[in-house]
A and B are shown apart, each in its own frame.
Chain A
């Protein structure tokens, strides 16, 4: 890490060098260009927000980062190395975890099992050993279970440990999904609209969890959010997208005063 690059925020967190660099990313679906020549970076330990009107290409950008989409042009650099075309599950093994805009949980499984799946990248015993429940399999299961219990305590969802998540209310499902991502102990956590459809109280809870994750575990977070108030409160830096292009990048204050951003959100008078 380059020492010159790092700085300390007002609330005492250290922001390091860039862990993730997107260089001139262009993504097309047939004739539609979802992302047009966008570059930005995510620094170690920061909360980086991606905002923009509907259809701006924010979710597509997150999908590029975690490998669901492969951009036609541009490069993705992770930890100072150019990333070659990888499958999403390989990228997950590199330490990138995510949540989804429309919750993607394993609905038939309990909260505990859902969060346990987040530990899969940390479990190494072979099939035979698991099948016979011998060797490392049992010890591994127990050790990983401890991590999961910590996540459950952290997110205050002890009461719903055994409940199949399909039966949980929306706010809890969002929380379980965050828990599954956290259980992976990711180096980079991607959150796609973690507060969509929540009421004020739930939003406050979720904001607190996100900040605590960032603060206590030093996890780097990139998130998409529509609620500007929330973004301005929790993000260190903000990328603004509109129609697949980047129209702003900087601290919340800088972005707020950027004329292009104001135009994109409020509309421009045509005269």
Chain B
């Protein structure tokens, strides 16, 4: 076998793992869209905010320190302690749950039964509010996020696969962080599926996703469910924020991963959890393989920037509801 064949496999595996990260973001969209019919534009910013908060807690940053310093002329910035990662993650999760509660209480509650476009606009407002609020709280500088996950290429895999391709091949290069991200994303999805299938709250979540009126009639509080859904979406955003933040630092561009989730949703369908996973994998593998096989040799490279959107466009033309989305049937 030529070395290029093995490089192809390596590209494929890396594509899979990149796809898992896309899936993580898409998952947050699907959860909220299913339960409340809202396309939550703020999902990407939620990931950024979660990551910022996590770094802030870990480093013992004083929230709003810039604001306090400006008003009172003080010069405070850190508490002077470092929290262990796990404790900081739990605290951040609590912040995200509080956030979900506040969103329900001050935004969603007042917009019940409004047009989807109004709700969408509300989430755009929410996104910019959160972005500004996050900067105000933790500062706008680029932060390094390290929760103790191993980084860099896995040397063991590299060393033990080098013999495959002869002299030109140096073994599979797989990033440790990517592999851990895959493991965590897998666990997260399995947990979510088990939770929604086998618990009464999960059943209530699915019920609300199907029919609001019927859900009310069996005693489900829509508001309670919305808080739960936004909390879970906050948790998913936190996981995505940790993975992307560890990879490329915590900065504004982190919130743009939401844009990468859009083609995933068009492929997988806005209402399907498995769709979000498969869609993410197809996009991840698709864009890496396209770059490797066609983009780099023939098109001058950098096809990764647009390939996903092209694929989504093709899907929109031939299967507008996505691979797993609910069929769009209009009765006449």
Binding site for B on A (CB under 8 A): 66, 68, 87-90, 92-93, 97-98, 100, 104-109, 113, 116-121, 123, 125, 127, 130-131, 133, 137, 140-141, 180-181, 184
Q: Quick check: is B163 within 8 A (CB to CB) of the other chain?
A: no
Main secondary structure of the interface of B (DSSP, over half): helix
B207 neighbours in A (Cβ, 8 Å) = 106, 109, 117
Which of B210, B219, B228 sits near A89, CB closer than 8 Å?
B219
B218 neighbours in A (Cβ, 8 Å) = 92, 97, 117-118, 120-121, 180, 184
Contact B201 A130 (CB under 8 A): yes
Q: Quick check: is B204 within 8 A (CB to CB) of the other chain?
A: yes
How close is B266's CB to chain A, nearest CB, in angstroms? 21
How close is B90's CB to chain A, nearest CB, in angstroms? 13
From A90, A109, A140, name the one whose CB has the most chain B CB atoms within 10 angstroms.
A109
Q: Quick check: is B331 within 8 A (CB to CB) of the other chain?
A: no
A68 neighbours in B (Cβ, 8 Å) = 213, 216
Bound together, the chains give a CA A121 to CA B323 distance in angstroms of 36
Number of interface residues of B (CB under 8 A): 24
Contact A66 B201 (CB under 8 A): no
Query: Given A106-B211, A117-B207, A120-B204, is A66 in contact with B217 using a C-beta cutoff of 8 Å?
Result: yes
B205-227 interface code vs A (CB 8 A; 1 in, 0 out): 01101110111111111100000
Q: Quick check: is B198 within 8 A (CB to CB) of the other chain?
A: yes
Query: Given A117-B204, A125-B200, A141-B200, is A88 in contact with B217 using a C-beta cutoff of 8 Å?
Result: yes
Bound together, the chains give a CA A98 to CA B215 distance in angstroms of 11
Q: Quick check: is B75 within 8 A (CB to CB) of the other chain?
A: no
Q: Quick check: is B133 within 8 A (CB to CB) of the other chain?
A: no
Q: Quick check: is B70 within 8 A (CB to CB) of the other chain?
A: no
Q: Quick check: is B195 within 8 A (CB to CB) of the other chain?
A: yes
A131 neighbours in B (Cβ, 8 Å) = 195, 199
Bound together, the chains give a CA A141 to CA B199 distance in angstroms of 8
> Ordered nearest first, which 6 A-B pairs have the shortest CB separation?
A92-B219, A104-B214, A106-B210, A130-B199, A88-B216, A121-B219
Bound together, the chains give a CA A137 to CA B201 distance in angstroms of 11
B105 neighbours in A (Cβ, 8 Å) = none
A98 neighbours in B (Cβ, 8 Å) = 217
Complex A-B: 14 CB contacts under 8 Å: A88-B217, A92-B218, A100-B214, A104-B213, A104-B214, A116-B200, A117-B204, A120-B200, A120-B203, A120-B204, A120-B220, A130-B202, A133-B199, A141-B198
Contact A108 B200 (CB under 8 A): no
